[in-house]
């Protein structure tokens, strides 16, 4: 399904309001003047409010995307889209892409 490409300035959060950031941006492809992100590198999550193991199974620390563009790659890696899906560790909850650029679309 086609969707807007994700860039490093996108607002991405865990289900518990933690801010997610890519560990390795992809500067070879830019949109809205910012580097895009490929599927391969993990994301870090900061500020997750999920309680630690005695009261929960959190907080979210990292996340890994499992879906991405099927036809658009950079450096051999698929680029992330607005509808790409990721799973946080250790909570096994999804990341939510809240806002990103909308001009460049891929499939």
Secondary structure of the chain in HEC code, one letter for each residue: CCEEECECCCEEEECCCCEEEECCCEEEEEECCEEECECCCCEEEECCCCCCCCCCCCCCCEEEECCCCCCCEECCEEECECCCCEEEECCCCEEEEEECCCCCEEC
**pLDDT tens per residue, range 89-103:** 999 999 999 999 999
pLDDT greater than 70 at residue 1: no
- What pTM, to 2 d.p., does this model score? 0.92
**pLDDT of 9:** 96
Tell me the CATH number at 36: 2.60.200.60
**pLDDT of 55:** 77
**pLDDT tens per residue, range 37-92:** 999 999 999 999 998 888 778 899 999 999 999 999 999 999 999 999 999 999 99
What tokens were used for 19?
A: 């801010």
**pLDDT of 56:** 76
pLDDT greater than 90 at residue 14: yes
Specify if 107 maps to a domain. Answer: no
Specify if 47 maps to a domain. Answer: yes
Structural domain tally of the chain?
A: 1
């Amino acid at each position: 399904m086609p969707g807007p490409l994700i860039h490093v300035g996108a607002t991405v959060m865990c289900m518990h309001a933690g801010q997610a950031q890519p560990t390795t941006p992809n500067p070879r492809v830019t949109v809205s003047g910012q580097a895009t992100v490929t599927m391969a590198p993990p994301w870090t999550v900061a500020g997750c409010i999920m309680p630690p193991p005695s009261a929960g199974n959190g907080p979210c620390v990292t996340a890994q995307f499992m879906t991405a563009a099927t036809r658009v790659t950079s450096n051999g890696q698929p680029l992330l889209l607005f509808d790409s899906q990721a799973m946080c560790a250790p909570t096994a909850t999804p990341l939510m892409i809240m806002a990103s650029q909308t001009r460049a679309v891929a499939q």
